[in-house]
Chain A
Amino acid sequence: MRRSSVSLNITSPPRQNQSRITPYLICFAMPVRPIIPMTLFSALKAMKRGFIAKPHTADCLLELYGETPEEIFDQSARALLHEMTGRSPEQVAAGKTISYDTITLHAPSLPWLLVDWLNELIYRYDVRHSYTVETRINRLECSPANQFTLHAEIGTVPVADDLAQIQFKAATYHDLRFERTPDGWIAQVVLDV
């Protein structure tokens, strides 16, 4: 699995995002009960990279961690695939030929760019019948007018019906977060099942 290893030239996020920074421990004190043991929380915090799927009445709430915003996008693709198949990208890709494609997306904020990114992957699943098993965020830029652009390369494999568990309708804007914290970056997105 290739990791995001390119140099990143993102500018600072808009001030409004900075001012809404939520300390890490407050996130963990939210009244939503985690579905994984606290030891794993601690491990994730130490790694500063990963994802957690949290209980949400009918849908799926993903919490994403990364040292950089690019890692948030990377982790969101892993989380999406995990929720769809119950497996890691490496497991889904095993023994399969990977096809590569590039994606460029524009949005007026990082949270909206995350929604667009996930909706792009959901669309490709529906129409091209493919799982995204690799992501490389080549460039994440913020223009002076606060327009965010994502340039990414993705690797996909054909859907195997025996892996399929659930299908997502869309990524939503509900309870959407994408923020810098003292320990790195954290994002939250609800997917409609």
Chain B
Amino acid sequence: MAEFRVPTKRDLRRIGDFCYEVPASFWDRMRVPARLYASETILDQILQDKSLAQLVNMATLPGVLLHSIAMPDVHQGYGFPVGGVLAADTEEGIVSPGGVGYDINCGVRLLLSDMQRQDFDKRATVQLVERLMRTIPVGTGEGSPIKITKRELDQVAREGAHWAVRQGYGEPSDIEHIEDRGRMDEADPDCVSDRAKERGYVQLGSIGSGNHFLEVQYVDRLFDQQAAQSFGLAENQIVILIHTGSRGYGHQICTDYVRIALESAARYGISLVDPELACVPFSSPEGQRYYRAMRCAMNFAWANRQIITHFVRQVWKDLYGTERRLRILYDVVHNTAKVESFEIEGRRVKAVVHRKGATRALGPNHALTPTPYKHIGQPVIIPGSMGTASYVLVGQSFDDTNFFNSTCHGAGRRMSRHQAKKKIFGEKIDLRDALEQEGIIARSQSKAGLAEEAPFAYKDVDEVVEVVEYAGMARRVARLRPIGVIKG
């Protein structure tokens, strides 16, 4: 068997305007080609880290269908790159806990207001941001704002957003505006360790740190009037973006099952080129237990974002009156593995679609497209970094095996956290002041946390979504710009 060689630009074959492939002949352990969607500028950035090597590694996994895929926002992760998509046959293929990632159902939710940008001068924005910062638990030390019993935690794991709405954290209509209606069936808390439950118990209803945030934004530009109208988006409208996931509950489930997969893989004849690719057959007892535990974490994350939504709405009503509403546009998932079916070589194949830092993007009339958007396609929400734009796209895919109904999930990092901090502190940049000069009020628990997420640490989100559109994954509907940021 040939030694692994790090792929370079010379190993890429251009197969479309924004599509490149490392052929399966590159390395004898690859079962399928490795496919990458990028512009030339983004490609050069991607080649700066180990993303391409990790994409090639993905293509070695048993049961992988057609190709491993990297989205234009891809960056180096561990095992899978962040921005990686892999579909594996449910009968012959694997499920990989590391291929979903530690923050299971990390995702974003967009709330639409009926207020306008002109309603928020600097003083009003500061008032809102500081009130949100005091109300929503954000940052490293902040725990759950609600008290639940351990039995209720298992109900959260089974019922997701439905549990939260039943407890009064939201409105019944919210459910229709969440991917998979905010609940995965077959979630089994008996497959979740006590340790994961302990971590989840103290963190339900909190945002956390890292790249998670809550932003107050306005609609800066519309690209597709018809879709914008269907979504209820208008220029200068104020919206709220919530970005968080399953917190310690999901992190511990991944930790537990990566270890189980590492210990079990050899027993199933699986040879790993990177331990974080640890996987087991989807149909194995270990694979099924992980799948059920992972679904608990997905449900936890939906309940988490639902509870945060409730507290944002409380702030909104306190500040602007009870007649003011915040409606959910949609809630999308970034880190997941779901069984979906595709037409491949004339037969219907069920696949475990791993999306690690990627978003499902379904077009009109797909069975899984939510009812309110069946006619136009689902909203896809792409968070940028603070100081730069976020986007609302509309899905176009209908069982598209070019990208397995997926698209990007953000701008994608291009600079390490250390480099970002070094630049900010080395050049004595006061990031909070710099953002304020741009009309963005930022509040963070720590200066370091803010510095690590500085806008220049990310790729150009405008270019990322242009690639997404030109590649046919999703279409631009609206661009959003922040006026307020709260971060851990």
Contacts and interface: CB of A to CB of B under 8 A. Distances in A.
Of the listed residues B140, B263, B274, B413, the one surrounded by the most CB atoms of chain A closer than 10 A to its CB is B140
A166 B210 contact: yes
B143 A129 contact: yes
Contacts of A159: 140-141
A164 B446 CA distance: 7
A161 B102 contact: no
Given A58-B76, A58-B82, A174-B276, A126 B413 contact: no
A161 B275 contact: no
Interface string A54-96: 1111111000000000000000000000001010000000000
Interface string A137-173: 0000000000000000000000111001111011011
B350 interface: no
Q: Could you tell me the dominant secondary structure of chain A's interface residues?
A: loop
Of the listed residues A57, A126, A165, the one surrounded by the most CB atoms of chain B closer than 10 A to its CB is A57
Interface string B402-440: 000000000001111111001000000000000000000
Given A55-B419, A57-B49, A84-B140, A176 B275 contact: yes
Contacts of A110: none
Contacts of B419: 35, 55
Interface in A11-63: 35, 53-60
Interface in B65-122: 75-79, 82, 98, 101-103
A108 B263 CA distance: 10
A127 B276 contact: no
A167 B416 CA distance: 16
Interface residues of A, number: 35
A50 to B, nearest CB: 17
Given A173-B262, A174-B276, A192-B78, A53 B418 contact: yes
Contact of A58 (B413, B445, B448, B449): B413
Interface of B: 49, 75-79, 82, 98, 101-103, 139-143, 195, 198-199, 202-203, 208-211, 248, 251-252, 254-255, 258-259, 262-263, 274-276, 278, 413-419, 422, 445-446, 448-449, 452, 488
Interface of A: 35, 53-60, 84, 86, 108, 112, 119, 123, 126-127, 129, 159-161, 164-167, 169-170, 172-176, 190, 192-193
